Structure 1
Amino acid sequence: MNIFRIKKNFKRRWRRWRKAIWTVSACGIVALLAWLGMPLSDKLETVMTREEPAVLETLANLQTAYDHVSSKEFRQAINETNRVRTVHLNKIYTCGEESQVLGDMKGKEIADLQNKHPDWTGRVDAGGEVWFDHHIVDLSDICKRSGYIGLDHKGNLSLFEGPPKDEKVMRTFFQLDIESMESALPEDIVNQIRQGIRIQDVEEYNSVLSTFSDYATTVSQKAIKLN
């Protein structure tokens, strides 16, 4: 049995005691960022919302004002002229991304599209093309089909398409302190990460990242905190 599935079951039992502290702290962070007019980074939002439903609810409520302003500015940008713009949809999954071209549209058509999908975030790039970002708490098709988390040849914890030996890196997370990891973790877990851990659901994906983030190098730890 995968060691991370055992760990996942164990975490469900001991996680309850920190629920109150986590919820209060996280809600405070969200409230502060919303008050300052700053959006949450993708990583911070993923960590916070996966922990407690109360945080998810607070995030949705407090980010509404910010999203409203962003949406208004986006609509003003696409309505400045009646020009035809190429529209893209970028699906940002917890694990992986997928993009597609929706076609060429005028401002009113783009606005109508956003009205139908209020959870999409719109932006106009430097070339005048429109991108909609749709955040999805799930694994992309490619991650479900062949996603692995393992080590690249430089010791970075990375997301791979297929086993790490195939060297098809899709995303690099952070540099690991290999010596620290090997001295602290059981040999079978170290072997698993070297061979690549197959990712089958969002909870397991987050569990693997959480486990190995404890062994990130000092520079990587600072980067993780900033994000």
Structure 2
Amino acid sequence: MGYKSVVMTLSVCFAFFGLGFSLNSGTVLAAQPNQTFEDEAVPLDLTVILERAYLDGEVSEEKVRETVWSLEDFWLRYDQWQCISIDGDTVVFKQYVDDISPLLKANGYFGLSEDGVLTIFNGRPDRSQIIQSFFQLDVGRLESRKHQELLKGIPIKTKDQYEQVIEAFKPYTRVEKQKN
């Protein structure tokens, strides 16, 4: 993203939320992208919340403290993020990650819930909590090998594997018959 885009993003974000930042001295900082605090010798202390939303629906949150001397530098640092809100000395950014979450990579398993729904578990399916559920499977149509894999648990290590497993089991989706 170029300089003009960053300046435009900053302007739009501030215009959208209609506010500036309050400084410790009680003065209000207007939304000026090239503003620096070197003249005042008072940096802006912000809490920055970084939300990452993953393909599997998991959202992680990281909270960092920032000392800002230049709004331009601040916005450039987060140019790959979407500004969600600005409230006092807290700025919330969100980023959509085209990948599965670290939780799934570390401990996610596809399996079957008790009622036959394709499900992701935090750990092996027989003794773990449900992370995400997908669709009801017609277990009677499953090959015995695939059924056993799901009962044992299929580990999830990559985005491609996550998508392949979902696609592989879609043909076994249970279709309820319509009553006349």
TM-score, length of structure 1 as denominator length: 0.51
Task: Say whether the 8 Å CA contact 1:71–1:121 is kept in structure 2.
Answer: no
**Alignment of 1:143 onto 2:100:** no
User: Counterpart of 2:98 in 1: which secondary structure?
Assistant: strand
CA deviations 1:154-197 (Å, max 9, x no partner) are 3332221111112322222x231334xx31x3210121122221
Higher-Rg member (1/2): 2
Distance 1:215 1:129, change over 3 A: farther
How many residues in Structure 1 have an aligned counterpart in Structure 2?
147
Match of 2:173 among 216, 220, 227: 216
Cα RMSD of the aligned pairs, angstroms, is 3.5
Please identify which structure carries the higher strand content. Answer: 2
Match of 2:64 among 98, 102, 127: 102
Distance 1:77 1:171, change over 3 A: same
CA deviations 1:88-130 (Å, max 9, x no partner) are 1112233443211123778x75x74442232211212899954
Tell me the CA shift for residue 145 of structure 1. Answer: 1.6
CA deviations 1:65-87 (Å, max 9, x no partner) are 9xx99875433245613248643
Q: 5+ unaligned residues in a row in structure 1: which ranges? A: 1-64, 220-227
Task: Say whether the 8 Å CA contact 1:87–1:105 is kept in structure 2.
Answer: no
Distance 1:97 1:82, change over 3 A: closer
Please identify which structure carries the higher helix content. Answer: 1
1:1-227 equivalences under 5 Å are: 73-77=12-16, 80-83=19-22, 86-95=47-56, 96-103=58-65, 109=71, 112-124=73-85, 130-172=91-133, 174-179=134-139, 182-183=140-141, 185-217=142-174
Distance of 1:71 and 1:210 partners within structure 2: 41
Distance 1:82 1:131, change over 3 A: closer
Q: 5+ unaligned residues in a row in structure 2: which ranges? A: 23-44
TM-score, length of structure 2 as denominator length: 0.62
Distance 1:147 1:77, change over 3 A: same
Aligned amino acid, residue 150 of structure 1? G
